[in-house]
Structure 1
Amino acid sequence: MISLRDATPHDGAALAAIYNPYVADTVITFETEPVRAEEMAARVSEAQESKLPYLVAIDDTTSQVAGYAYASKWKGRCAYRHSVETSVYLDRNQCGQGIGTLLMEALIERLRAAGMHALIGGIALPNEASVGLHERLGFKKVAQFEQVGHKFDQWIDVGYWQLILPET
């Protein structure tokens, strides 16, 4: 069973342990150096200071963090204040079990309650799992930038998926 809770800076080491294999082995993230636990803790604090959700999924059988999802500011200018970028990462041993969906559904509900309007997911391509997750949740592809990232001696395209939340 999986339970969700708000992340805290104390989760920094667990978040780094999930994230760093993506840094080291994939083009899913464009970071190229491992992220220290302290940096992940700072990222959690930054989201909280911005009043944006940062959620963790806990595997109740092991009490370990199985994944996380968060929102960050899309852009810094004031008119963008109702738009956020969403991100989700799973422990690679936990993929395919519905945890990403659970996290993203909860994140979307938190963002809806916070009055957000446009949710944007940037996806390094190809990434069938992430595209499938976003599209199942109602995100629509709105853009693709060609060869904007370079990692592991290859150029990488990035697609953007957007979900507009209806006004309440």
Structure 2
Amino acid sequence: MRECIRDAKEGDSQQICQIYNYYVETSGATFEEQLVSQGVMAERIVSIQKQLPWLVFEEAGEVLGYAYVSPWKERSAYRFAVESSIYVAQQAAGKGIGNSLYQALLARLVDYPIATVIAGITLPNPASIVLHERLGFNQVAEFERVGFKFGNWMNVGYWQRQIKTEEQINHCLNKD
């Protein structure tokens, strides 16, 4: 079968919605509680890609996962930090797709003035923790009872990976 990791397209929004809405309905992996429409997802893709990468893992024409980064916070002092998001289709979990996507996403960030990537993980989630730690992320925080979904309070841990030094950031900013 032919598989590839490529930039997401607006036309991927339906398949991305199917992946994401599974987690909205069944999991604390996202704190969204309402299903996301194809139109809203298409807007999210376009909005993110104006400044940062959004990738999909495709096999035989089917999107089986996606990953992207978004600004960590709006204030300008946070401009060198992003938050990563990654979702794999439920039927494709455990096949290495998340690892492949994440590695491609991190490789793509080489061209961006990004110093650190932050990942929020609803706890417990051993598979996500293992994935992040294998990729060099370290846990830096845990917030207790910050999400309430499915009648339960949920903790969120934060993992962080430094991907560039100050010198490397300056080089990115001065490439012209």
TM over 0.5, yes or no? yes
Q: Which residue of 1 aligns with 2:9?
A: 8
**Structure 2 CA distance, aligned partners of 1:158 and 1:105?**
23
Could you tell me which runs of 5 or more consecutive residues in structure 1 were left unpaired when the two chains were aligned: none
Alignment of 1:121-136 (within 5 A): 121-136=119-134
Specify the code of the residue in structure 2 equivalent to 1:136: R
% identical equivalent positions: 45
Rg larger in structure: 2
Could you tell me which runs of 5 or more consecutive residues in structure 2 were left unpaired when the two chains were aligned: 169-176
**Structure 2 CA distance, aligned partners of 1:113 and 1:126?**
33
Matched, 1:76 2:77: no
Render the CA deviation track for 1:61-104: whole Å, top value 9, x for unaligned: x3100100000010001111110000100001111111101100
Q: Which residue of 2 aligns with 1:53?
A: 53
Matched, 1:117 2:115: yes
Deviation at 1:152, TM superposition (A): 0.5
Specify the code of the residue in structure 1 equivalent to 2:86: V
**Structure 2 CA distance, aligned partners of 1:45 and 1:166?**
26
Q: Which residue of 1 aligns with 2:85?
A: 87
Q: RMSD over aligned Cα, in angstroms?
A: 0.9
Matched, 1:108 2:109: no
Name whichever structure is richer in helix by fraction.
2
TM-score when scaled to structure 2? 0.91
Specify the code of the residue in structure 2 equivalent to 1:57: F
**Structure 2 CA distance, aligned partners of 1:166 and 1:24?**
36
Deviation at 1:2, TM superposition (A): 2.5
**Structure 1 CA distance, aligned partners of 2:110 and 2:99?**
16
Q: Which residue of 2 aligns with 1:43?
A: 44
**Structure 2 CA distance, aligned partners of 1:152 and 1:122?**
19
TM-score when scaled to structure 1? 0.96
Give the conservation status (yes or no) of the 8 Å contact 1:2–1:99: no
